[in-house]
């Protein structure tokens, strides 16, 4: 694992000197009221990249004041104007700022630069998609069944929104929420993860450059989430909260949102089963397994979490998967050819290592990986585990790292039982040539998204979300704007015809 080149170091230094590092309130980047700074670390080296100003309760109150003052004006802005601002932001992100955003994400989050570039394209696409949805919000007019009233159904902005985003996809998780909020005419207060605030601040600057008016977006980085979200959730002017993150935090936000009966969107934990049947194209399944397990170093809510492989191909699959995982190159995301960057933090890496150690102590075997490498940085190698005992912790918990436990199964019913024996149900993956089986599994797997003979499932044009404890609502697709709109019914005397 080598250090970044001097050219990359120079680019990184120049970029970090240009990034805003204050809280954003009413169109201005400024120092937070509590006078504290938050270190932003490079997980590949542990070094401090820069510091950002921390928001506190007074900043949350000022952001809410700004949002309340701007809401009526922004909600009344012509849909075409809102659409054009989002279109301009899309163009800026994919041209002038694409390399800046990619480099910044790799610096503060660790993913390989090629994956960061892919996230820029994916994240910007939410702005383009919802720019197009902004001009397609429609209501309805009809006569009620009794005939005496003409019903008019209006759609209008839900109002000020608190958007809380995670560290693993710092651009895409922000634009997936900001796009529909702005398209609908709602105001957004964004609280990014403390680990990755820089990407959010640069995205905000791009939106301002694209023409977003002051007050329509606030960004509040902080090391103390409660100090910011607490006052906002208690403020009666807030009308919606959208959160992506852990199920435990999501449940707490739901409880606290109940006091003001807030509209909520929750994209929570995942525990995706990757199911391989005897009749699958084995080479394709192994390739897909590596892709969906290792994207973002396994730190994705829809990553394959555990692998269920039918007995007839179990040995061949595990052998092929171990070989493919071992071939993945680990190192700084800034290095050419690296496929596996560092995990987000030493704390996260250590928790993952301890989970693997407990599995090994209980009888599991590591076909590759399985131990923290020497040297600096928050690295963990691609790992394949077999021979897990029944009910093993590592088969039941969301791993969020480059570890693939593989378990054999015998029948379709057994695979269904294993996959559905979970309180969450975000996504799943299925490899088989039997289309009748695909339809049976699609009907019975308790997931909100199912990838069939594929490694990729996320797309801006499709609804993203899960069942059970994986959350509420959908993001992306035509469904993505719905949670940012209120439905108002107006009844008036029906005209008398004839």
CA–CA separation, 455 vs 292, rounded Å? Answer: 5
CA–CA separation, 456 vs 274, rounded Å? Answer: 12
Q: What tokens appear for 25 in the block?
A: 């309130």
Q: What tokens appear for 392 in the block?
A: 């093993």
Cα 195 → chain centroid: 14
CA–CA separation, 159 vs 238, rounded Å? Answer: 7
Within 8 A by CB and 6+ apart from 30, the residues are 22, 23, 24, 53
267 counts as catalytic: yes
∠ CA 79-83-85, rounded to 5°: 120
Q: Are 472 and 262 in contact (CB under 8 A)?
A: no
Q: What tokens appear for 423 in the block?
A: 């309180």
CA–CA separation, 223 vs 436, rounded Å? Answer: 51
DSSP per-residue codes, 215-270? TSEEE---S-HHHHHHHHHH-TT--EEEEES-HHHHHHHHHHHGGGT-EEEEE---
Catalytic residue (choose from 54, 161, 301, 368): 301
- End-to-end CA, the chain: 83
Q: Residue 482, SS3?
A: helix
Q: What tokens appear for 194 in the block?
A: 């403390």
CA–CA separation, 162 vs 189, rounded Å? Answer: 5
Q: Are 196 and 167 in contact (CB under 8 A)?
A: yes
Q: Give the single-character DSSP code of 468.
A: E
301 counts as catalytic: yes
Within 8 A by CB and 6+ apart from 240, the residues are 158, 159, 160, 161, 162, 186, 262, 263, 264, 265, 483, 484
For 415, other C-beta atoms within 10 Å of its C-beta total 22
Q: What tokens appear for 201 in the block?
A: 């601040």
Q: What tokens appear for 389 in the block?
A: 């005992």
Exposed, middle or buried by CB within 10 Å (0-12, 13-18, 19+), for 343? Answer: buried
Strand partners, 403: 383
CA–CA separation, 437 vs 452, rounded Å? Answer: 11
Q: What tokens appear for 160 in the block?
A: 């000020």
Catalytic residue (choose from 108, 195, 267, 335): 267
Q: Are strands 272-276 and 427-431 parallel, antiparallel or unpaired?
A: parallel
| Residues annotated catalytic, as ranges | 267, 301
């Amino acid at each position: 694992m080598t250090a970044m080149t001097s050219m990359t170091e120079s680019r990184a230094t120049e970029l970090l000197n240009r990034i805003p590092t204050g809280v954003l309130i009413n169109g201005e980047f400024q120092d937070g009221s509590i006078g504290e700074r938050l270190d932003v670390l490079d997980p590949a080296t542990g070094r401090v990249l820069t510091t950002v100003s921390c928001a506190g309760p007074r900043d949350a109150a000022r952001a809410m004041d700004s949002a309340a003052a701007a809401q009526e004006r922004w909600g009344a802005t012509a849909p075409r104007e809102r659409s054009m601002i989002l279109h301009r932001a899309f163009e800026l992100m994919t041209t002038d700022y694409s390399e800046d955003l990619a480099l910044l994400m790799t610096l503060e989050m660790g993913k390989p630069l090629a994956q960061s570039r892919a996230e820029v394209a994916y994240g910007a696409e939410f702005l383009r998609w919802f720019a197009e949805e902004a001009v397609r919000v429609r209501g309805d007019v009809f006569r009620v069944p009794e005939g005496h009233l003409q019903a008019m159904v209006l759609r209008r902005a839900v109002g000020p929104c608190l958007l809380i985003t995670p560290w693993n996809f710092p651009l895409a998780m922000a634009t997936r929420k900001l796009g529909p909020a702005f398209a609908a005419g709602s105001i957004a207060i964004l609280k990014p993860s403390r680990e990755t605030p820089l990407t959010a601040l640069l995205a905000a600057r791009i939106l301002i450059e694209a023409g977003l008016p002051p007050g329509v977006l606030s960004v509040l980085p902080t090391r103390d989430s409660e100090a910011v979200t607490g006052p906002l959730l208690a403020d009666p002017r807030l009308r919606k909260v959208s959160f992506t993150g852990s199920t435990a935090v999501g449940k707490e936000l739901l409880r606290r949102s109940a006091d003001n009966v807030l509209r909520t969107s929750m994209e929570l934990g995942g525990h995706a089963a990757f199911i391989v049947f005897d009749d699958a194209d084995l080479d394709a399944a192994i390739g897909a397994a590596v892709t969906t397990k290792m994207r973002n170093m396994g730190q994705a809510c829809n990553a394959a979490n555990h692998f269920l492989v039918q007995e007839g191909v179990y040995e061949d699959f595990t052998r092929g998967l171990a070989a493919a995982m071992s071939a993945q190159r680990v190192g700084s995301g800034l290095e050419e050819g690296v496929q596996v960057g560092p995990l987000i933090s030493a704390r996260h890496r250590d928790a993952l290592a301890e989970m693997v150690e407990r599995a090994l102590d209980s009888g599991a075997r590591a076909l590759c990986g399985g131990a923290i490498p020497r040297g600096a940085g928050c690295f963990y190698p691609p790992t394949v585990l077999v021979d897990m005992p029944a009910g093993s912790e590592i088969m039941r918990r969301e791993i969020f790292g480059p570890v693939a436990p593989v378990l054999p199964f015998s029948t379709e019913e057994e695979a269904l039982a294993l996959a559905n024996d979970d309180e969450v149900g975000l996504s799943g993956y299925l490899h088989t040539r039997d289309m009748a089986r695909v339809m049976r599994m699609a009907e019975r797997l308790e997931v909100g998204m199912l990838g069939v003979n594929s490694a990729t499932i996320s797309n801006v044009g499709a609804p993203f979300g899960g069942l059970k404890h994986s959350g509420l609502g959908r993001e992306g697709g035509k469904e993505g704007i719905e949670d940012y709109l209120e439905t108002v019914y107006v009844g008036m005397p029906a005209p008398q015809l004839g």
